[in-house]
Amino acid sequence: MAVITYRQALHDTLRDEMHRDDDVFLIGEEIGVFEGSYKITAGLLDEFGEKRVRDTPIAEEGFVGAAVGAAMLGLRPVVELMTINFSLVALDQIVNHAAKIYGMFGGQTSVPMVLRTPGGGGQQLGATHSQNIELYYAFVPGLKVVAPSTPADAKALLLAAIRDDDPVLFLENLALYNTKGEVPDHVEPAEIGKAAVTREGTDITIIGYSRMAGVATQVAEKLHDEEGINAEVVDLRSLRPLDRETFVNSVRKTGCAVVAEDDWLTYGIGAEIAASISDGAFDYLDAPVRRVASAEVPLPYAKPLETAALPSAESLTTAVRETLDAVGRRR
Amino acid sequence: MAETATRTKPATRAKSRRSSASAANSGPFSGESAELLRGYFQQMTLIRRFEERAAQGYTQAKIGGYCHLNLGEEATVVGLMSALRKTDLLFTNYREHGYALAKGIEPGRVMAELYGRTTGTSKGWGGSMHMFDVEAGLLGGYGIVGGQIPLATGAALAIDYRDGDQVVMCQMGDGTTNIGAFHEALNIAALWNLPVVFVVVNNFLGMGTTVEKSSAESELYKRASAYRMHGERVDGNDVLAVRDTATRLVQGARESGGPALLEAVSHRLKGHSVVDPAKYRSEESVQEARDNDPVANFRARLVEAGVLDEDGAKEIERSAQADADAAVAFADDSPHPEVSTLFDYTYATPVANDSRRLPADPVF
């Protein structure tokens, strides 16, 4: 078992999969000579050559569409979109084509491609470079959207995404690249569409994904150590398909829940989670489901404003305490 | 409103890098096999009769959605498809019934798709705009203007990746040349020297807007020069000219691996879709389309040259009508997909915890 960064886990997985399967190739902006804006693909051009590590022009619709077309013929492109913000330029190819081709042709061809892309705020990148717009993709049947929160999960989910026959949006987070975690020597592909209970508990369920799943675990540990609160943490891992069973069962056990998400509140992922809890665990609920999310503003550049706009360990802790107070469960 | 006189100009041949194959056509059909010529006429007539039956099926409410016909573009369709091998791949836009037929798909399966039946080319999931058949090499009709161009470029990338000898043809309309995907995909195809022939069927109308009103450079083949790509214009009403030019460009793509842009100048006999009465068109332009009717004109040329006699032509027309009628009967007799199959094609790799299937379903 090694302790490596989230970045290293992604890099190692890409490299291993390219060695395993000649049909796997990388395509995207600055992934070759520049070695990737966030250095995930460092060294891969030298190792695999231009055919399999393909630098593209700045033309997201063109190269994402080309990856879709190549995938239709059975190749397994792994696209790097420099940031999720630029995916909007390729939205037609992702939503109208990658997601629909299997269905609208009656299952005759699939699109086994991966779109890797980082999102998230906190780096003072301003409004157009700090978005959490995974919801746009999680909304679309035909796409799969996964969001690993740890290095081990990054590896397991990327393995699964590359080997999956459907288009998978693989959501990374800028704040996670340098985080470290234990990764087993041999990692099996994850089951896409399966959430994980990353901490067992009985007092309250905290549901998160990507960066906020990690924050949720930290908050749960701290509340346990300092206040004796025993929170259960569910890491969604997959936003579509969504594993309702795991988090609804958790809420049936604990009776209350807080959802932690980096996206905007209104119509966000948390809204879907809360509605699912209402459908599946209404009779078990002791308090309304709380949501901790980003302020509904274009993310500002100025540091104090940006910090205030993003959900944090503090805002999540407050929401957990207030929920427990409401049900009289805080010690 | 009026379309300019440039549309009646004979097709301009751009300079070719390769020797012209059209010399063989200097006499009326010299060097052409009579059987092949009759075959082209048969295919063009089948498309004509098929599309007339499709229009009829639409007005009878047997066909829903949109229904864009190839009426008036039969020579372009047949000429282009005769330039491809069976293993070559085709991407089209939404105006695709004729291409499906000319690429070798059974007429019954094409009509059944229009009727939304399981026997259709996409099992009833696609309809008029989304036909697909791996065997025939039709990799789909696409409904978003220009959406198919990056896909075709990617298919060519896959062929190149595997050192295959197939060529991809990507059909589109004149209005498509103004969308970003066109420019991005042509640029990438040229940068990576991919075996794809882009074909613009220029019928001078993007829905109701003329090419002069929508394209700053309305001689569309010239756009190829921006990508250091070979571009050429051909008379889309002449099946042999289309075949010869397309064959040359396809061969070039196969041998050199590089892309090309072909503009086929054609005419739309009807509106943009079945429901469009085309009131925006002048009488002159409609008359001009009729005068350039590729099926009637080719028939007359074949009869005049003695390749066909009147009885022979009528026999082909009767046979095409019978094929179109049989396609309708096949479609009519075929079943709609079972409602129980509604969720069969969301994912190719099934998932353990799929999201709820219908709003009324319990959470689990």
Q: Do A62 and B142 touch (CB under 8 A)?
A: no
Helix, strand, coil shares of chain B as percentages rounded to 5? 45, 10, 45
pTM, full prediction: 0.93
Which tens digits make up the pLDDT trace of A260-280?
A: 999 999 999 999 999 999 999
H or E segment to which residue A79 belongs: strand A76-80
How far apart, in whole angstroms, are the C-alpha atoms of residue B46 and residue A33? 53
Query: What integer is the mean pLDDT of A299-303?
Result: 96
> The tokens of A203 are what?
């007092």
Q: What percent of chain A has pLDDT over 90?
A: 98
pLDDT of residue B13: 38
Quick check: A95 and A133 in contact, CB under 8 A?
A: no
| Residue A169 to chain B, least CA–CA distance (Å) | 14
Residues of chain A found within 8 Å of residue B181, distances taken between Cβ atoms: 61-62, 65, 92-93
Interface test with A, best of B161, B166, B227, B342 (most A CBs within 10 A): B161
Cβ B150–A65 below 8 Å, yes or no? Answer: yes
Contacts of B191 in chain A (CB under 8 A): 57
Judged by phi (left if over 0) then psi (alpha if -120 to 50, else beta), residue A107 lies in left
Q: What is the strand order of the sheet A290-294 is part of? A: A196-199, A231-235, A204-208, A257-264, A290-294
Smallest CA–CA distance, residue A292 to chain B, in Å, is: 23
Considering chain A, what is the average pLDDT of its residues? 97
CA distances (Å), A83 to each of A87, A89, A149, B83, in order? 7, 11, 17, 42
- Contact residues for A80 (Cβ-Cβ < 8 A; gap 6+): A26, A27, A28, A29, A31, A36, A40, A41, A116, A117
Nearest CA distance, A25 vs chain B (angstrom): 10
Which residue does chain B place closest to A66, by CA atoms? B154
Give alpha helix (H) positions in chain A: 6-20, 44-48, 60-72, 84-87, 91, 101-104, 134-138, 151-163, 211-227, 244-254, 269-281, 303-309, 313-326
Q: Of B268, B288, B211, B248, give the one whose Cα is nearest residue B77.
A: B268
Between residues 16 and 75 of chain A, which touch chain B (CB distance below 8 Å)?
25, 51, 56-57, 59, 61-75
Residues A238-253 have a mean pLDDT of: 96
* Beta bridge partners of residue B235, listed in sequence order: B265
Measured between CB atoms, which of B147, B154, B346 is closest to A142? B346
Question: How far B360 CA lies from chain A's nearest CA (Å)?
Answer: 11
- Confidence check: pLDDT of A229 > 80: yes
As a whole number, mean pLDDT of residues A41-69 equals 98
Taking the Cβ of residue B123 and every Cβ of chain A, the question of whether any pair is shorter than 8 Å is answered with yes
Which residue of chain B is at minimal alpha-carbon distance from A240?
A: B355
Can you give the length of chain B in residues? 364
* A2-5 and A180-183 beta bridge pairing: antiparallel
Instruction: Kindly state whether A279 is in contact with chain B, defined as any CB-CB distance less than 8 angstroms.
Output: yes
Asked if the Cβ–Cβ distance from B348 to A104 is below 8 Å, we say: no
Selected for mutation to probe chain A from B196, B336, B346 (highest A CB count within 10 Å) is B346
Task: Please report residues of A whose CB lies closer than 8 A to that of B154.
Answer: 65-73
Asked if B142 and A144 come within 8 Å (Cβ–Cβ), the reply is: no
Cis upstream peptide for A241 (omega within 30°)? yes
Chain B residue with minimum CA distance to A280: B363
Of B151, B349, B356, the CB nearest to A69: B151
B359 touches chain A (CB under 8 A): no
d(CA B251, CA A28): 30
Q: What's B139's DSSP letter?
A: E
Q: For chain B, positions 186-215, list CB contacts with chain A under 8 A.
A: 187-188, 191
Instruction: Write down the mean pLDDT value for chain B.
Output: 90
For residue A278, the distance in angstroms to the closest alpha carbon of chain B comes to 10
Q: Do B203 and B285 touch, CB atoms closer than 8 A?
A: no
B161 and A280 within 8 Å at the Cβ level: the answer is no
- Cα–Cα distance between A8 and B7 in angstroms, integer? 60
Q: To 5 degrees, how large is the angle CA B96–CA B99–CA B105?
A: 110
Alpha carbon distances (Å) from B264 to A247, B10, B303:
58, 11, 25
**Each residue's pLDDT tens digit in chain B (364 positions)?**
333 333 333 333 333 333 333 333 445 788 999 999 999 999 999 999 999 999 999 999 999 999 999 999 999 999 999 999 999 999 999 999 999 999 999 999 999 999 999 999 999 999 999 999 999 999 999 999 999 999 999 999 999 999 999 999 999 999 999 999 999 999 999 999 999 999 999 999 999 999 999 999 999 999 999 999 999 999 999 999 999 999 999 999 999 889 999 999 999 888 899 989 898 998 998 899 899 999 999 999 999 999 999 999 999 999 999 999 999 999 999 999 999 899 899 999 988 666 556 656 666 5
User: Between A69, A74, A97, which is nearest B157 by CB?
Assistant: A69
Q: According to the model, what pLDDT value does residue A83 have?
A: 95
Token pair in block for residue A244 = 């309702």
B153 touches chain A (CB under 8 A): yes
Q: What is the pLDDT of residue B363?
A: 65
Quote the pLDDT of residue B20. Answer: 35
Mean pLDDT (whole number) for A83-93: 97
Kindly give, in sequence order, each residue whose CB lies less than 8 Å from that of residue B136, ignoring residues fewer than 6 positions away. B86, B100, B103, B104, B105
Distance CA B102, CA B81 (A): 6
Give the pLDDT confidence score for residue A329 in this predicted structure.
77
Q: What is the pLDDT of residues A199-228, one digit of tens each?
A: 999 999 999 999 999 999 999 999 999 999
Q: Are the C-beta atoms of B202 and B266 separated by less than 8 Å?
A: yes
Q: In chain B, which residues have their Cβ closer than 8 Å to the Cβ of A110?
A: 348-349
Q: Does residue A124 or residue B354 have the better pLDDT? A: A124
Active site residues of A: 60, 129
Q: Which of A187, A135, A165, A138 is nearest to A10 (CA)?
A: A187
Q: Does B343 touch chain A if contact means CB atoms closer than 8 Å?
A: no
Residue B136: its pLDDT value, please?
A: 97
Q: Is the ipTM of this complex over 0.90?
A: yes
Q: Do B344 and A245 touch (CB under 8 A)?
A: no
Report yes or no: A105 at the B interface, CB cutoff 8 Å: yes
